[in-house]
């Protein structure tokens, strides 16, 4: 029998003035928006499983601040501290799903001592040696910079494609934003909810324009994005966004 989960958005940083056109492919606009970095907490209603999907960005260092311009992250945004502020012991987190290994989704996992860290093997491979134009996203190949995901490398478990982690909790391979992007799918009382990282940054990526989903501008292939959208149409009833304050209109999803 499938378990059911309740999902909670946790703000773990923000971009005060992010170009909206970087979220929505084909948008001809110079508008900038404040965009949160959201880590999602999934609580099982019947077992001790406590899952995080992505863990947010790190406080910029002297080196990383040069290419993470406009990122606002403070000490209190560190994922273990955010959990404590919500009454959760970080040692109780059982799993972390990295939708991908960009700097704003995978920091501070080393402070979750008992969690299994799950990421697609293809994403891990690409993060080690990305194309030149993608290096800043992964923080890879810069002197005096250890990529955020590598600080918890000893706990990372590489998975291959679609993976059922537990009843009611599945990871789907959803390439498009990055070569190894994936999404976490949770059964809830009111349908299957999907958290898919930056394939869906804003509500509009999923709701689309004229019935068509809108890929993220930062992508590894438009066709890959559309294939992943098609999969989500079949696999999820609700798709949640990664950088959209409208996700905070509800403190819990799946009830």
pLDDT one-digit tens code per residue, 231-254: 999 999 999 999 999 999 999 999
| pLDDT at residue 1, rounded to an integer | 60
Q: What does the H/E/C string look like for the chain?
A: CCCCEEEEEEEEEEEEEEEHHHCCCCCCCCCEEEEEEEEEEEEECCCCCEEEECCCCCCCCCCHHHCCCCCECCHHHCHHHHHHHCCCCHHHCCEEECCCCCCCCCCCHHHCCCCEEEEEHHHHHHHHCCCHHHHHHHCCCCCCCCCHHHHHHHHEEEECCCEEEECCEEEEECCCCCCCCEEEEEEECCEEEEECHHHCCCHHHHHCECCECCCCCCCCCHHHHHHHHHHHHHHCCEEECCCCHHHHHCCCECC
Per-residue pLDDT, averaged over 176-181, amounts to 97
Q: Given its phi and psi angles, is residue 100 left (phi above 0), alpha (psi -120 to 50 degrees) or beta?
A: beta
Across the chain, what does the average pLDDT equal? 95
Flag whether pLDDT at 145 surpasses 80: yes
Mean pLDDT along residues 111-127:
97
Query: Across residues 157-170, what is the average pLDDT?
Result: 96
Which domains occur in the chain, in start order?
Answer: 5-169 (3.60.15.10)
Cβ–Cβ < 8 Å for 69, 92: no
**Sheet containing 5-19, strands listed edge to edge, beginning at the edge strand earlier in sequence:** 5-19, 32-44, 50-53, 95-97, 116-120, 156-159
Rounded Cα gap, residues 70 and 61, in angstroms: 13
Closest C-alpha to 119, from 183, 195, 41: 183
Whether 238 and 187 have beta carbons less than 8 Å apart is answered as no
Average pLDDT of the segment spanning 24-32: 94
Average pLDDT of the residues in 164-191: 97
Q: Kindly report, residue by residue over 198-228, the tens digit of the pLDDT.
A: 999 999 999 987 778 999 999 999 999 999 9
Q: What is the pLDDT of residue 69?
A: 79
Mean pLDDT of the 25-44 span = 96
Burial class (CB in 10 A: 0-12, 13-18, 19+), 56: buried
Tell me what pLDDT residue 2 has. 75
């Amino acid at each position: 029998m499938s378990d059911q989960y309740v999902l909670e958005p946790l703000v773990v940083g923000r971009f005060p003035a992010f170009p909206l056109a970087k979220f929505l492919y084909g948008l001809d606009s110079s508008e900038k928006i404040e965009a949160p970095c959201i880590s999602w907490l999934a609580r099982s209603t019947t077992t001790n499983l406590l899952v995080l999907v992505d863990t947010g960005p790190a406080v910029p260092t002297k080196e990383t601040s040069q290419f993470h311009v406009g990122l606002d992250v403070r000490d209190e945004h560190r994922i273990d501290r955010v959990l404590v502020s919500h009454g959760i012991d970080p040692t109780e987190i059982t799993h972390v799903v990295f939708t991908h290994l960009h700097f704003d989704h995978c920091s501070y996992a080393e402070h979750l001592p008992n969690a299994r860290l799950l990421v697609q093997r293809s994403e891990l491979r690409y993060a080690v040696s990305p194309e030149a134009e993608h290096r800043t996203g992964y923080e890879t190949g810069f002197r005096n910079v250890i990529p955020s995901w590598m600080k918890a490398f000893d706990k990372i478990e590489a998975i291959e494609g679609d993976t059922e982690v537990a009843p009611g909790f599945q990871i789907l391979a959803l390439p498009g934003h990055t070569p190894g992007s994936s999404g976490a799918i949770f059964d809830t009382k009111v349908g299957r909810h999907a958290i898919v990282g930056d394939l869906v940054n804003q509500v509009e990526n999923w709701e689309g324009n004229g019935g068509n989903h809108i890929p993220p501008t930062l992508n590894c292939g438009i066709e890959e994005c559309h294939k992943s959208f098609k999969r989500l149409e079949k696999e999820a009833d609700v798709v949640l966004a990664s950088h959209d304050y409208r996700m905070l209109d509800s403190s819990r999803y799946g009830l």
